[in-house]
């Protein structure tokens, strides 16, 4: 645990807290999961923004067990521009866990790709994504994860592995 915390402290320069032109805003994994749950429920980005701006929990769709709107609604109250940008232009997750990545893969792409993967030690394996899905997901992952091809593309989809320990595509 200590070595991982030291690793995070050494690599602080990788995650830039301020957004510059062309960069996606940073949000928590929890907020991303709630946002993608709303999208999976067929809500448009415009409707999601309207509901979050209103901030009335009773007008928001019900969420599966263990999920709640608290963090995302608080962010909407305190930093509306971050929420607007995350919904409209995309986001980068500040810190991912392997279980959060697995959840986001299911929420974002289940309808478009039959995801088959095995959870291994420190990585997710055998994930099939299109080039567009791969690029979108790669740009939303925190910098502490990397995505590597496992075999050449087949049927328009790539077989990839997501693992911890490399800075988003740059081996150390």
CA separation, residue 126 to residues 109, 114, 155, 162, 164 (Å): 14, 11, 15, 9, 15
| Confidence category of residue 144, pLDDT binned at 50, 70, 90 | confident
Distance between CA atoms of residues 64 and 19, nearest Å = 31
CA 25 to chain centre: 12
Q: Which DSSP state fits 57?
A: G
Q: Which DSSP state fits 13?
A: G
Across the range 157-161, mean pLDDT stands at 86
Contact between residue 164 and residue 144 where contact means Cβ atoms under 8 Å apart:
yes
| Confidence category of residue 163, pLDDT binned at 50, 70, 90 | confident
Distance between CA atoms of residues 127 and 26, nearest Å = 24
Q: Residue 4 corresponds to which tokens in the numbers above?
A: 């991982």
Q: Which residue(s) pair with 92 in the sheet?
A: 26
What is the per-residue pLDDT across 84-130, written as a single tens digit (0 to 9) for each?
Answer: 999 999 999 999 988 888 889 989 987 333 344 555 567 788 888 88
Instruction: Look at residue 17 and tell me whether its pLDDT is greater than 70.
Output: no
Instruction: Choose among 136, 137, 139, 143: nearest CA to 167.
Output: 143
């Amino acid at each position: 645990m200590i070595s991982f915390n030291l690793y995070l402290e050494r690599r602080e320069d990788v995650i830039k807290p301020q957004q510059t032109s062309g960069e996606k805003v940073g949000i928590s994994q929890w907020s991303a999961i709630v946002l993608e749950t709303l999208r999976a429920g067929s809500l448009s980005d415009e409707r999601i923004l309207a509901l979050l701006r209103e901030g009335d929990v009773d007008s928001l769709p019900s969420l599966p067990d263990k999920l709640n709107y608290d963090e995302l609604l608080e962010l909407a109250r305190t930093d509306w521009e971050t929420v607007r940008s995350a919904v409209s232009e995309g986001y980068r997750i500040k810190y991912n866990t392997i279980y959060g990545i697995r959840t986001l893969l299911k929420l974002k792409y289940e309808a478009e790709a039959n995801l088959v993967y095995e959870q291994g030690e420190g990585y997710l394996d055998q994930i099939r994504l299109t080039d567009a899905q791969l690029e979108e997901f790669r740009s939303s992952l925190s910098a502490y994860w990397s995505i590597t091809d496992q075999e050449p593309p087949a049927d328009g989809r790539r077989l990839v592995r997501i693992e911890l320990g490399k800075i988003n595509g740059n081996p150390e």
